[in-house]
Amino acid sequence: MQKIDEEALAEAYNRALALEKSGDVEAAVKAYAEVLAIDPEDHGGAAVRIASMGRGETPDKAPDAYVATLFDQHAEVFEDVLVEQLQYHVPMMVRQRLQAMSLGPFEKALDLGCGTGLTGGVLRDMADDITGVDLSENMVEIAHDKDVYDTLYVAEVVDYLEDNEDGPFDLITATDVLPYLGGLEGLFFGIAENLNAGGLVIFSSETLPEEALAGRNFMVGPHQRFAHSRAYVEKRLGEIGFNILEVADITVRLEEGEPIGGHLVIARFLGEKA
């Protein structure tokens, strides 16, 4: 592993943030390029910040080092900030829709991007066995202390789906995962590979108005998270062998007091790739 010059990295990153805040986009992009040169693994998410300013190529995902660092740093205050301040209630929406559609109970469930256990907690009485997976070790430790999950893994979700040997699941959830992924083929294919025939996936995504997406399948939005078009999500699911049961327009969270729009998607795996 390359040794990082922490002092130089902090100086470059703080300078880039200041330039971005001042509105000097071109200078900020150059400064973030310096950050990437110092820290190629991109713990600070320079690549997605460049993309959020409409420059450079849109990455296929947020860097693993960035996601792990971001959530490790915020693990202790995660629930207070996300639920109380940002009004994030997607896990409860998941439970409400499953109950309203008379879906469940489930024998085995998998919670991708489980975080501190918000989704696992609201589904605990609906599944006999729940596995949680998250890239942040600090978040997984908090989830472990809650005793919500039967099994927990620290792993990137697509990597876990590729390597999983724990058998197929009846339900897979992914709340607040898609905002850190651009291309969804690997995720959806991995979910299909880990579902029983007839199994369900339910996940949330963020989106932007059509004029902002401008025909793109996905993009990095102004708050450094990926937004996906509904058409892209539905097309990829269909191609991989899912029957979409419901796509609901939701408010995912607040950002600077403004609602962030998105979708809550429920789909059934038909048991064979289309």
For 231-248, the DSSP string reads HHHHHHHHHHTEEEEEEE
For 26-62, the DSSP string reads HHHHHHHHHHHHH-TT-TT-HHHHHHHTT-SPPPSB-
Per the omega criterion (within 30 degrees of 0), is the bond before 105 cis? yes
Q: Does one domain contain both 55 and 107?
A: no
For 112-134, what is each residue's pLDDT tens digit? 999 999 999 999 999 999 999 99
CATH number of the domain bearing residue 61: 1.25.40
What percent of the chain lies above the pLDDT cut of 90?
Answer: 91
- Asked whether residue 256 is domain-assigned, the answer is yes
Range of the domain at 153: 78-269
* 105 contacts: CB under 8 Å, gap ≥ 6: 126, 127, 128
For 234-248, what is each residue's pLDDT tens digit? 999 999 999 999 999
Q: Which of 54, 149, 49, 169 is nearest to 108 (CA)?
A: 169
Residue 145: is its pLDDT beyond 50? yes
Count of residues in the chain:
274
Q: Does one domain contain both 64 and 99?
A: no
Pairing of strands 195-206, 169-174: parallel
What total number of domains does the chain contain?
Answer: 2
Q: Does one domain contain both 65 and 103?
A: no
Q: Which of 199, 213, 200 is nearest to 262 (CA)?
A: 213
Pairing of strands 258-269, 195-206: antiparallel
Q: Does one domain contain both 43 and 85?
A: no
d(CA 201, CA 15): 42
Q: Which of 20, 74, 9, 15 is nearest to 44 (CA)?
A: 9
Residue 33: is its pLDDT beyond 90? yes
Amino acid at 115: G
**Average pLDDT score over residue span 99-119:** 97
Please give the pLDDT value at position 5: 84
230-240 helix and 185-193 helix, angle to the nearest 10 degrees: 40
Residue 152: is its pLDDT beyond 90? yes
**Average pLDDT score over residue span 97-117:** 97
Please give the pLDDT value at position 2: 60
**Average pLDDT score over residue span 85-100:** 96
Residue 274: is its pLDDT beyond 70? no
- Asked whether residue 68 is domain-assigned, the answer is yes
- H-only helix segments in the chain: 6-22, 25-38, 46-52, 64-74, 78-79, 90-100, 118-123, 137-146, 157-163, 185-193, 210-213, 230-240
Residue 1: is its pLDDT beyond 70? no
